[in-house]
C-alpha cells in the first residue's frame, strides 16, 4: 500500500500533518555524516517543530535542543533531551522561565542583553544555582532573507551590540553566579547561499581576537541556525546541503584549542519531512478564476499568509488529470488565507486529497485555533 494511503485509511480527519520518519532519519544521518569528526554540535531549534514524535527521534540521535520558552524546555526534557544539552534563547525570558531552566540544569542561557545578564545572575543567586551563559552578539549582518526572519541587523531586537561585548564579559567575570561558556549568534532564517554564514564566521574571528586580548577563553561559539531549504523543488532536493554548510563554516571560522562550534538548525532538519494533507471542499468557478477551496487554512499553515511564502501543492487523488489553473485557498475569513495564486494543478474535484509540501518546519508549530478551528493533528509514517 502506498504510504499516503496508509494515513488516509487510518481514518484521521483532514487537515493533518503527515511526517515521513524515514526522511527525517536520513536527514539526521546526513547531518552527522557531513560533520564527520569535526568539533561541531547541533542543537535542534525546537520552535521549528516541537511535536513529541519529532523531538523523540531527534533526541534519540544525540542532538541537543535550542529552546525559546519554558514550554519548549519542558517538551524537550519530556522527549528525552539531556538537560545539559538544552540551551535557552529569547529576548524576553521571564523570571519563572529562568528559574525553570536553572532547576532543570540546562546547559546554557543564550543571553540577549546586559539587562538580562544581571537578571539571570540575581535569579541564579536566589536559587543557589550557577547559571551557564553565552552572550548573544548582534553581528549586524544582512542575511538577505525575508525581513520578518532577519535577526542579525542592529535594527532588530535581538542580541547584545558588539560594542558591549567586553562589558558583558566583565559582568560574567565579576559575578560568581555566572559562568561564561560561549558566544552566540543568529543572523536569520531560510538563508540559501553560504555567503552570509561565511561573513558571520569572519566577524566571529574578529570578536575572538578581541577576547584573546583580554585573556578570555570560551568553550564554544554558536552560529545559530538559518540554513534554507528548497521550497520550489522539494521532491528533488529532499535533504538540504549540509556538507556545503558545515564546510563553509569550518573553513571560515578559526576555533581556538579545544573549542567547539555549535549550530541551531531548525527548518533544514524537519521542513521536508512534513506535508499538510488536506481535502478539496469544493471548486468554485469565479468570474475570472477557479478557486479550489481546501479544508486546510492559514490557521493550520500560516507561512503563506504571514510571509507570502509558497509551498508546492500536489494533487494526490488524480495526479494524471489534465492541468488546470486555480487559486488554492483555505476556508478562513481572510483574503490572505491563500496557498497559491494561479497554480497549475491536475484537475481538482470535490473530495480530492492534496498535499502541501515542505511543511514540517514552522507549520504545525505555528498553527492556531483562529476561527475556532481545531488544531491539526499529526500522523507519522
| Contacting ligand LLP within 237-266 (CB under 6 A) | 264-266
Q: Give the count of beta carbons closer than 10 Å to the beta carbon of residue 159.
A: 28
Specify the residue, 190 or 272, whose C-beta has the smaller distance to ligand LLP. Answer: 190
Task: Determine, following the binding rule CB under 6 A, whether residue 226 of this chain makes contact with ligand LLP.
Answer: yes
Q: Which three cell numbers stand for residue 81?
A: 533531551
Q: C-beta of 159: minimal distance to ligand LLP in Å?
A: 9
Task: Determine, following the binding rule CB under 6 A, whether residue 93 of this chain makes contact with ligand LLP.
Answer: no
Specify the residue, 8 or 302, whose C-beta has the smaller distance to ligand LLP. Answer: 302
210 alpha carbon, distance to own chain's centre: 31
CA end-to-end span of the chain: 12
Specify the residue, 224 or 241, whose C-beta has the smaller distance to ligand LLP. Answer: 224
Q: C-beta of 69: minimal distance to ligand LLP in Å?
A: 12
Task: Round to whole Å and give the CA distance between 111 and 359.
Answer: 30
Q: Which stretch binds ligand LLP (CB under 6 A): 165-173, 223-231, 310-318, 324-332?
A: 223-231
Q: Which of 46, 48, 75, 76 binds ligand LLP (CB under 6 A)?
A: 48
Specify the residue, 283 or 306, whose C-beta has the smaller distance to ligand LLP. Answer: 306
Could you give the string, one character per residue 62-81, with x where binding to ligand LLP holds by CB under 6 A and - elsewhere? ----x---------------
Q: How far lies 61's CA from each of 44, 310, 381, in Å?
A: 11, 31, 18
E-assigned strand segments in 195-289: 220-222, 260-263, 274-285
Task: Determine, following the binding rule CB under 6 A, whether residue 34 of this chain makes contact with ligand LLP.
Answer: no
Q: C-beta of 271: minimal distance to ligand LLP in Å?
A: 8
Task: Determine, following the binding rule CB under 6 A, whether residue 189 of this chain makes contact with ligand LLP.
Answer: yes
**Sign of the CA dihedral 206, 207, 212, 217?**
negative
Q: C-beta of 361: minimal distance to ligand LLP in Å?
A: 6
Task: Determine, following the binding rule CB under 6 A, whether residue 50 of this chain makes contact with ligand LLP.
Answer: no
Q: Which of 27, 150, 190, 208 binds ligand LLP (CB under 6 A)?
A: 190
Backbone angles phi, psi at 104, to 5 degrees: -75, -15
Give me the residue label for grid cell 497549475. 344
E-assigned strand segments in the chain: 16-19, 40-45, 64-67, 86-88, 108-111, 131-138, 160-161, 178-184, 220-222, 260-263, 274-285, 290-294, 313-315, 323-329, 338-346, 353-356, 377-380
**By the 8 A CB rule, do 353 and 317 touch?**
yes
Q: Which of 303, 311, 312, 373 binds ligand LLP (CB under 6 A)?
A: 303
Task: Round to whole Å and give the CA distance between 83 and 64.
Answer: 9
Q: Which stretch binds ligand LLP (CB under 6 A): 34-42, 222-230, 245-253, 339-347?
A: 222-230
Task: Determine, following the binding rule CB under 6 A, whether residue 311 of this chain makes contact with ligand LLP.
Answer: no
Task: Determine, following the binding rule CB under 6 A, whether residue 85 of this chain makes contact with ligand LLP.
Answer: no
**Count of residues of this chain found to bind ligand LLP when the rule CB under 6 A is applied:** 21
Provide the binding-site residues for ligand LLP, judged by CB under 6 A.
45, 48, 66, 89, 149, 151, 186, 189-190, 224-227, 264-268, 303, 307, 362
Amino acid at each position: 500500500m502506498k504510504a499516503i494511503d496508509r494515513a488516509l485509511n487510518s481514518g484521521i480527519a483532514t487537515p493533518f500533518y503527515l511526517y515521513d520518519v524515514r526522511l527525517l532519519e536520513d536527514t539526521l544521518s546526513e547531518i552527522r555524516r557531513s560533520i564527520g569528526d569535526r568539533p561541531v554540535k547541533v542543537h535542534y531549534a525546537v520552535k521549528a517543530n516541537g511535536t513529541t514524535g519529532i523531538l523523540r527521534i531527534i533526541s534519540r540521535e544525540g542532538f541537543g535542543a535550542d529552546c525559546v520558552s519554558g514550554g519548549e524546555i519542558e517538551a524537550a526534557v519530556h522527549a528525552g533531551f539531556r538537560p545539559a544539552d538544552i540551551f535557552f534563547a529569547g529576548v524576553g525570558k521571564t523570571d519563572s522561565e529562568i528559574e525553570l531552566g536553572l532547576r532543570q540544569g540546562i546547559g546554557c542561557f543564550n543571553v540577549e542583553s546586559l539587562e538580562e545578564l544581571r537578571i539571570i545572575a540575581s535569579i541564579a543567586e536566589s536559587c543557589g544555582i550557577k547559571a551557564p551563559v553565552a552572550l548573544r552578539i548582534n553581528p549586524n549582518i544582512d542575511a538577505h532573507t525575508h525581513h520578518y526572519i532577519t535577526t542579525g541587523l542592529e535594527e532588530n531586537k535581538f542580541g547584545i551590540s558588539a560594542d558591549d561585548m567586553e562589558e558583558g564579559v566583565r559582568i560574567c567575570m565579576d559575578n560568581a553566579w555566572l559562568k561564561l561558556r560561549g558566544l552566540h549568534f543568529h543572523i536569520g532564517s531560510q538563508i540559501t547561499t553560504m555567503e552570509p554564514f561565511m561573513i558571520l564566521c569572519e566577524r566571529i574571528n574578529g570578536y575572538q581576537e578581541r577576547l584573546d586580548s583580554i585573556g578570555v577563553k570560551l568553550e564554544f561559539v554558536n552560529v545559530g541556525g538559518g540554513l534554507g531549504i528548497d521550497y520550489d523543488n522539494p521532491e528533488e532536493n529532499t535533504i538540504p546541503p549540509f556538507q556545503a554548510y558545515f564546510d563553509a563554516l569550518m573553513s571560515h571560522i578559526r576555533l581556538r584549542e579545544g573549542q567547539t562550534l555549535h549550530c541551531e538548525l531548525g527548518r533544514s532538519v524537519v521542513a521536508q519531512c512534513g506535508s499538510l494533507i488536506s481535502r478539496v471542499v469544493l471548486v468554485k468557478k469565479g468570474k475570472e478564476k477557479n478557486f479550489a477551496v481546501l479544508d486546510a487554512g492559514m490557521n493550520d499553515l500560516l507561512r503563506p499568509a504571514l510571509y507570502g511564502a509558497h509551498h508546492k501543492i500536489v494533487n494526490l487523488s488524480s495526479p494524471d488529470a489534465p492541468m488546470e489553473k486555480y487559486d488554492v485557498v483555505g476556508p478562513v475569513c481572510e483574503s490572505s488565507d491563500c496557498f497559491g495564486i494561479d497554480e497549475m494543478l491536475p484537475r481538482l474535484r470535490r473530495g480530492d486529497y492534496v498535499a502541501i509540501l515542505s511543511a514540517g518546519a514552522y507549520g504545525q508549530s505555528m498553527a492556531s485555533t483562529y476561527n475556532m478551528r481545531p488544531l491539526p493533528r499529526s500522523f507519522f509514517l
